[in-house]
Every structure is written in structure tokens, then in C-alpha cells.
Amino acid sequence: MQIRSFYTDHWKAYESILPAAKHLQSKTETYTIEGLNSRISHYLARFRRKTKCYSKSQEMIVYSLNLLFNHIAIPFYRCQKKF
């Protein structure tokens, strides 16, 4: 998987680490991403901060995310990785 762009807030530390050509500082984009992240952690216990649920396999993470994205109808975010 190739990373096309990095969306961050306006924290100065990101400018020194991320390549300028791929780095976009925008509250609009980070707001959207954080909204998706909160939906994922709401539905899947393995993505919550303090949890005893975890995945032992990357394959199961991909399957879980695909099931969730199909359930909440977000086809754009379906994981494309094949095992």
C-alpha cells in the first residue's frame, strides 16, 4: 500500500517529519478521519484504548474492518489487502 497523503492538524512537529509534498494541514480532513476512527472504536473492541480484546493476526484485523465497513456502508474504506 502506498501512502498518497498525510492529513494533520497545525502542530509544528509534523512539518519537520512528514514530506511537504504529501503533507496537508487541514482541520476539515482531520475532523473526518477522527469521526471514522471513533466509529471504528465504538463498534470494534480491539481498537479501543483500554481493552483486553486484541487481535493476534493482521488478517483478522482486515476481516473485522471489512465486515464493519460493509455493515455501516462505507465502501470507500474497505481494506484492499489480500492474504
4 lies in the same domain as 21: yes
Report long-range pairs for 5-11 (Cβ below 8 Å, ≥24 apart): 7/33
pTM metric for this prediction: 0.55
4 lies in the same domain as 31: yes
33 lies in the same domain as 67: no
In order of 3, 4, 18, 80, the CA distances from 11 in angstroms are 20, 20, 12, 31
pLDDT tens across the length of the chain (83 residues):
688 889 898 888 998 999 999 998 988 878 887 888 888 888 888 888 777 777 788 898 888 888 888 887 765 555 555 55
33 lies in the same domain as 63: no
Q: How many domains does the chain have?
A: 2
pLDDT of residue 22: 92
pLDDT of residue 1: 63
Domain assignment of residue 22, given as a range: 1-43
6 phi/psi in degrees, rounded to 5? -115, 125
pLDDT of residue 82: 55
Angle at 75 between CA 73 and CA 79, to 5 degrees: 120
What's at 18, amino acid-wise?
L
